[in-house]
Structure 1
Amino acid sequence: MITESGGAMLFTEQEIQTIREQALGMDKHRQVTPDVLKSIYDHRLFHLFVPDELEGRMTPLPDAARIFQESARIDGNLGWLVTIGAGGGFFAALMSPDISRQVFARREAVIAGSGMPTGTARQVDGGYILNGSWKYCSGSTYATTFTANAVIEPGTMVQDTTGEPTADQGEPEIRSFIMNPDQIEIQQDWNAFGLRATGSHTISAVEAFVPYEMTFSLTETKGYENEPIYRYPFLPFAQVSFAGVAVGIAEHFLEAAESLAVKRGSSSHVIGRLNENKAALQLSVADFYKRVEASWDELMINGALSDVTEAQVTAQSIETAHAALCCGQQLFPLLGLSAAMEDSEINRCWRDLQTACSHALLRRYE
């Protein structure tokens, strides 16, 4: 179960039951349900990295990773959406205080977007005209704000740190753009075989005007400098978050696999392989949290991570995600045709696990 400090339950047994009962429908219809979103909003899980003064519930990264893990253990779509939605809180420090309050300070506030600079922007009086499309924007169907990166077109003006326009020095600048839902179009093209209810569609903008104040740089902090999470390097932050999801889905997979194996009266070989994978995952998860907690302690003491620590967190996150993926790869072929049925619990878990671990930040190139 997900627990908060002091051991209090976060999700109730009734919430867990409701989410799991609706999991098949979410998978089939490729849409998250209002009940699942309500649980996320009620527990402010999209606001785990939003300052408390913006109606957030600022959470240390090791604790947040456990929330991502346990959310994904309940259901893969839930875990992925909570993780992606919460990650948008990282931008609160990059926006001006007034804009961050406008974006985050409400119960249902959540960002969807993309970090890939697949758009272009030209400067005009008061802001920019933005064009482009951005793939894999999880949570697009209910997001209250969208963010996307774009390249400033050569020959236009750029902004210095004071917000004043300066002459373009020839190097293309990449900026992040904040848009309202009515400024983008959603192309419902997320047809992956797993994590089907995450709404990870392509978004596009055509001649969208974005004021200067609704843009930001990924390298310039504008507020909340005292919040430790904003000093954690973004790459390992994302890898820790995604690894937590992979672990949670793998735990659900193992739970479903054990139930199916017992029901089918599987051989001792299958049971043995199941126990081997369970033990291997547990060992890797223990190493994962040891590494993440040590990095967080280093951040709290030194105010930053060393390059060595950053590399260690990255390596352990990838390794643990791989251990999670191996559970599916090694056990799924042993579970018979019942597991091959698309509407079975074990099948959904397997598809979600494969999809989550396909993310570029979790792949192991060996």
Structure 2
Amino acid sequence: MDRMIPGSNVKFPDASAGLPVPAKQLLTEFAREAVLVVIGNALIAAGLTAVGIGKGLGENLVFSEAIGLSIMLLLHVGRYSLQRRNALTAPRLAIVMVVAIIAGAAIGRIVASALLGLDIGKTFATKEIAMTGWIALVATLLVTWYGWSRARIAGLSEQVARTAWLQETAEKTALRARLQALQAQIEPHFLFNTLATLDSLIVSDPPRARELLGSLNRFLRATLEASRTESETLSVQFAVLDSMLAVHAMRLGPRLAYSLDLPADCTKLAVPPMLLQPLVENALKHGIQAALAGGRIDVRATRGEQHVELTVTDTGPGFGATPGTQGTGIGLANVRDRLAALYGERASLTLIENAPHGIVARVLLPADDAHRLEGVESA
């Protein structure tokens, strides 16, 4: 039974199973070698006729084809029998070859004599047998060498394919682990500050504390689920952002206003998990919390023919207020690394000024990849 390697179209035979080679493969190999044997036998017949051996091209051709095909058939039967018993070795194959040459030459001469109406006894004269033996030996060795060479090439090709698959699997495993590590990063200050706010609200405003706890619970649950998957819909990601911003809004009060704009044609688009969360956290840290009066964060998705555009806009101080921090933080670096690992140059993250002040973080994703999950779900 063949074993299909996951993530590949290459089938590798299970050597431990010891099962016979499929009949279709045997017939294919036999037909391919039979064509070569027929051509080789014709050349041998032509050569014998050219040097004056035999009574003519027709008779030589019949004898050559009958003997050559008989030997090839016996050789295939013997090799197949050894393969079925998982006993194919070089010494045993050599014995099969000798037996096939002797028996095949005899059977071939009998068949040829019968076809030509010749006296079978005369075809087994010592001189005729010796000449037939030498010709059959050379032809069989050539055919056997050809078959061994093809088998050797096939084995080397299989080994190369297996090595390439193992390397590809290792690279994918390393990439998946790296992406999951990047996805699992949560801003520690966010958790500490939220827990501190929750502690104070438990005493001063229990209903708000319960509301904050519910938002935090939804956010952490969604974050945990996102860290275990390779893609999610924009509707799921926007729901996570809504929970996160709700927690921050309860902490910061009137200093934070936000909006989430997700058109209906974008809800089922597939994107990497937690793609926008680092951008929102960056806007909160360097935009809203850096301004005494606070500000606003707007998250928006737009679907185009070539790209899906995701933007996180804040009304904070902008680049000049916090030199050396915008665009070089760990969160932004993680987003760029993930985009590069998943899409190569087909995706990008850019930061631009938001007039009159603030920053716009814009992510462009290839539309074909984003549409893939939508097509699966709608089917």
Q: TM-score w.r.t. structure 2 length?
A: 0.21
**TM-score of the pair, normalised by structure 1:** 0.21
For the pair shown, the structure with the greater C-alpha radius of gyration is 2
